Amino acid sequence: MSAGIMQHESEAVRIQVVYEDQQHVEIRAFAVDPSITSYNNLKFLLMGAFKLQCIFAITYLSRSATSLDSQIYLALNSDWDLDEAFQNASDPILQLRVTKIKLEDDEINLEDDIVQRGIPSVNNKIVTKTTKTKAISKHISVPFKHTIKNHISKRWSRLTSAFNDSIRHSPVTMAEWQAFLDEEGQLLRSRAEDLRMRVFNGGVEPNARQIIWPHLLSVFPAEMTEDDRSTYLVVKGREYARMKLRWQGLPPEKTADITSMIMKDVLRTDRSYPYFAVESNHPNLLKLFNILATYAFTYPEISYCQGMSDLAAPLLVTMTDEATTFWCFNALMSRMKVNFSSDGSAMMTKFEHLSQLLDRWDPEFCKYLKDCGAGDMFFCYRWILLDLKREFSFNDALRLYEIIWSTLPHNSLGGLPRPLSAPRLNRSCSNPGTLDSKSDANCNDNSEAPATYYSHYGYGSPFVLFLCLSILLQHRDHIMRNQMDHNTMAMYFDRLVRKHDLNKVVIKARLLFSDFLRTELAPESDPETATPGDYEGVDSSISC
């Protein structure tokens, strides 16, 4: 393994940024994970930190190659420049300078695609204020809103019993899996939701994950028998082989940039886990490389971004077969690809949603974060980008992922609608940081949010945000007691990488999510009066 790869394999790099224009100079400090921070990610963070709506240049302070005492600023224009900056930046932090570029009117067309993709306008943010949400709500027909509420309330009694039992259930075993199938091995439609509920409560036994994970990820079309699934995997395996051969047949000069980036990440993905603690030419690493490269060249509009290797690694460890892992990864990315969009709009939306949820449960802590410059929630970047995979041990991350997937209904991973803007939520809790479910019952609901569908939280995956909220509330007292600022807090959470207690986080998240559903959805619906026709054509992205 090259020394260059290992030089910045730390979990966090501290960054100090100076932004200057003709009017003022502003300084911000934060920490990033170098293994998942790309050039586009960095631009997105800077645009959010300084509220930039202009063309800007980035330079970094580096030691001169001829003299260790002299320091010069070098241009930072690509992923390669950023990698060089991480490796050769001045100690002890990476110092950046952001400068506004003034262009003449005839030098820039505001409709230019590069400008539109690279600099999202604040005026066109996905997340808007409550007033716009209410306006949108007025255009939703009343029958449609009631249909959604009835659809959610139909399963309310089952949700309540599952959420209220905060004791970890035993994982789903292979023997229990058979009870969800008919005599031909078809997953019974009447038991599909029960399966997801069981996984949500207890996870999946390791030796059953190869069988159950593809169902949670909606890899198989509905109503397939066991024989159908076996045939389907053979067909999809051949399709994957053709896709892989297609990019492997391209001239090296057309693939070198992407394949080099992928290999660099593969060589530093989960190196402490036995499956990946191997030589650089080991078949395990080659499988991971092939999966990521095939995806990147099959979907050039998405391509490859740092962090994708983290998402694929648990799938490969579990599925072991390269082709099957690819199709599981492909299904997962149909939901996760928005996190890697170059304009950063989805991540900005999720940050705003998390901030709204925090303000709902703990307005005091939310205000504290805003006052110390952390109200943008950028310190949660790694959490949201990777569905919190790095925050837990690898084995715990496997269970975490299957729990998250169990909250998504069948076939919900693809074709998610673009989210509506989120309503402003106002709610206070007597003791938001506690793990005691009794204290959560003391929360008072003062929400004036319109009765709309809430699955837009987290771009259709709201439970991830409640996991983030759970972590924040568990550490809020320590953060406030020690008066941590934005940078100190970011470094604090970086020291907790792979050290969080999954059981505590999940139990608290389930209680929060249960309370959210109960107070926002259940009271206005009566499951006893609902009819089967009320639910047709409704895609419930918060089904558990």
% of the chain exceeding 70 in pLDDT: 70
* pLDDT above 80 (res 258): yes
Task: Report DSSP letters for 374-403, one per residue.
Answer: -TT-GGGHHHHHTTTGGGS-HHHHHHHHHH
CA 96 to centroid of chain Cα atoms: 27
Q: Of 352, 527, 450, nearest to 140 (Cα)? A: 450
Q: What is the mean pLDDT of the chain?
A: 77
pLDDT of 94 reads 87
pLDDT of 447 reads 29
What are the C-alpha distances in Å from 466 to residues 430, 509, 515?
Answer: 18, 5, 11
CA 139 to centroid of chain Cα atoms: 30
Contacts of 166 (CB under 8 A, 6+ apart): 437, 507, 510, 511
Q: Give the total residue count for the chain.
A: 544
pLDDT of 284 reads 98
User: pLDDT tens across 263-273, in order?
Assistant: 999 999 999 99
User: pLDDT tens across 51-69, in order?
Assistant: 887 788 898 887 654 445 5
pLDDT of 92 reads 67
Q: What is the dihedral of CA 164, 170, 172, 178, to 10 degrees?
A: -100
Task: Report DSSP letters for 21-42, one per residue.
Answer: -SS-EEEEEEEE-TTT--HHHH
What confidence tier does 230 reach under pLDDT thresholds 50, 70, 90? very high
310 φψ region: left (φ > 0), alpha (ψ -120 to 50), beta (else): alpha
Q: In this structure, what token pair is assigned to residue 78?
A: 């690509």
**H or E element: which one contains 430?**
none
Q: Is 425 helix (H, G, I), strand (E, B) or coil?
A: coil
Q: Residue 280: phi, psi to the nearest 5?
A: -65, -20
Report whether CATH 3.10.20.90 matches the domain 3-120: yes
Inter-residue contact 73 to 60 (CB < 8 Å): yes
* Cα distance between residue 272 and residue 181, in whole Å: 37
Q: What is the CATH number that goes with domain 186-340?
A: 1.10.8.270
User: pLDDT tens across 470-523, in order?
Assistant: 999 999 999 999 999 888 898 899 999 999 999 999 999 999 998 888 876 654
Strand partners, 426: none
Inter-residue contact 162 to 200 (CB < 8 Å): yes
The whole model's pTM is what? 0.71
What confidence tier does 102 reach under pLDDT thresholds 50, 70, 90? low
pLDDT of 5 reads 39
Instruction: Answer with the residue of higher pLDDT: 47 or 106.
Output: 47
pLDDT of 126 reads 34
Sequence ranges of the domains in the chain: 3-120, 186-340, 345-535
% of the chain exceeding 90 in pLDDT: 49
User: pLDDT tens across 188-228, in order?
Assistant: 988 988 999 999 999 999 999 999 999 999 999 988 999 99
b/e per residue 403-413 (b: at least 16 CB within 10 A): bbbbbbbbebb
User: pLDDT tens across 5-41, in order?
Assistant: 344 456 678 888 998 877 778 888 777 888 888 888 8
Q: Residue 190: phi, psi to the nearest 5?
A: -70, -15
**H or E element: which one contains 428?**
strand 427-428
Q: Of 46, 40, 45, nearest to 20 (Cα)? A: 46
Instruction: Answer with the residue of higher pLDDT: 368 or 152.
Output: 368
* Cα distance between residue 495 and residue 335, in whole Å: 29
